[in-house]
Chain A
Amino acid sequence: MINPNSTPILTVRGLRASINGTEILKGIDLTVKSGEIHAIMGLNGSGKSTFAKVLAGHSAYEVTGGSIQFEDKDLLELPPEERARAGLFLAFQYPIEIPGVANTQFLRLAYNTVQAQRGKEELDPLEFDDFVREKMKLLEMKPDFLDRSVNEGFSGGEKKRNEILQMALLEPKLSILDETDSGLDIDALKIVAQGVNQITNKDNATILVTHYQRLLDYIVPDYVHVMQAGRIVITGGKELALELETRGYDWINENNSSIAGVLA
Chain B
Amino acid sequence: MTESPHADYLAGLLRSWSEKPTRPLSWLNELRAEAIDRVSKQAFPTKRDEEWRFTDISTLTHLPYLPSRPETSLQLQDIDHLFLPEAKNRLVFVDGHFHQQLSSLKNPDELIIGNLPDFSASHSSILESHLGQHAAFDHNIFTALNTAFLRDSALLIIPKNTTVADPVHLLFIAIQPEVTSYPRCLLIGEMGSSVTLVEEYATLAQSAYITNSVTEIALAANAHANHVRIQRESKQAFHLANCSVALDHASRYQSTSLSLGSQISRYNLDIRLAEEAAECSVDGLTLISNRQLADTHTCIDHVKPNGTSHQQHKCIVDGAAHAVFNGKIIVRPHAQRTNSSQSSRNLLLSKTAQIDTKPQLEIFADDVKCAHGATVGQLDPEEIFYLKSRGLSEVAARNLLTYAFGAEIISRISIPSLKQQLEQIVLNQTQSN
Binding site for B on A (CB under 8 A): 56-60, 79-81, 83-85, 89-90, 92, 95-96, 98-101, 106, 109-110, 113-114, 117, 149, 166, 170
Contacts and interface: CB of A to CB of B under 8 A. Distances in A.
A117 B411 contact: no
16 contacts: A57-B388, A59-B385, A81-B394, A83-B389, A84-B389, A85-B391, A92-B389, A98-B383, A98-B387, A101-B400, A101-B403, A101-B404, A106-B387, A109-B400, A110-B387, A113-B393
A32 to B, nearest CB: 18
A80 B389 contact: yes
B392 A110 contact: yes
B109 interface: no
Contact of A84 (B391, B404, B406, B408): B391
B406 A79 contact: no
B313 to A, nearest CB: 15
Contacts of A90: 389
B80 interface: no
Given A96-B382, A101-B400, A109-B400, 11 more contacts: A57-B389, A81-B393, A83-B389, A84-B389, A96-B386, A100-B411, A101-B401, A101-B404, A110-B387, A113-B396, A114-B391
A106 B392 CA distance: 10
B404 A113 contact: no
A110 B390 contact: yes
Given A96-B383, A100-B411, A79 B404 contact: no
Contacts of A56: 385, 389
Given A58-B385, A59-B385, A92-B386, A113 B407 contact: no
B392 A81 contact: yes
Contact of B404 (A85, A89, A98): A98
B215 to A, nearest CB: 27
Nearest to A109: B392
B377 interface: no
B407 A101 contact: yes
B405 interface: yes
B429 to A, nearest CB: 14
Contact of B388 (A60, A80, A106, A149): A80
B387 to A, nearest CB: 8
B388 A79 contact: yes
Interface residues of B, number: 25
A178 B388 CA distance: 17
A60 B381 CA distance: 9
Contacts of B396: 109, 113
B350 to A, nearest CB: 21
Nearest to B410: A100
B194 to A, nearest CB: 25
Contacts of A59: 381, 385
A90 B380 CA distance: 19
A115 to B, nearest CB: 9
Given A100-B404, A109-B400, A95 B391 contact: no
Interface of B: 380-383, 385-394, 396-397, 400-401, 403-408, 411
Contacts of B389: 56-57, 80-81, 83-84, 89-90, 92
A81 B403 CA distance: 20
Q: Which 6 A-B pairs have the closest CB atoms?
A: A100-B404, A100-B408, A100-B407, A110-B390, A84-B391, A113-B391
Contacts of B407: 100-101
B183 to A, nearest CB: 31
B400 to A, nearest CB: 6
B394 to A, nearest CB: 7
A149 B383 CA distance: 14
Given A59-B381, A59-B385, A92-B386, A99 B392 contact: no
Contacts of A170: 390-391
A83 B391 CA distance: 8
Contacts of B406: 100
Contacts of A84: 388-391
A110 B383 contact: no
A153 B46 CA distance: 45
A113 B396 CA distance: 10
B401 to A, nearest CB: 7
A20 to B, nearest CB: 14
B391 A117 contact: yes
A153 B405 CA distance: 16
Contacts of A81: 388-389, 391-394, 397
A179 B386 CA distance: 16
A166 B390 contact: yes
A170 B391 CA distance: 10
B86 to A, nearest CB: 19
Q: Select the residue from A57, A79, A85, A100 with max chain B CB neighbours within 10 A.
A: A100
Contacts of A79: 388, 394
Q: Select the residue from A58, A99, A101, A170 with max chain B CB neighbours within 10 A.
A: A101
A117 B392 CA distance: 11
Contacts of A149: 404, 408, 411
Contacts of B380: 96
Nearest to A169: B390
A92 B400 CA distance: 20
A98 B391 contact: no
A190 B31 CA distance: 73
Nearest to B393: A81
A92 B408 CA distance: 24
Contacts of B383: 96, 98
A100 B403 contact: yes
A49 to B, nearest CB: 13
A56 B405 CA distance: 25
Given A81-B394, A110-B392, A95 B400 contact: no
Contacts of B386: 92, 95-96, 98
Nearest to B426: A100
Contacts of B403: 100-101
Contacts of B405: 100
Contacts of B408: 99-100, 149
Nearest to A88: B389
Contacts of B381: 59-60
Contacts of A85: 391
Contacts of B382: 96
B225 to A, nearest CB: 25
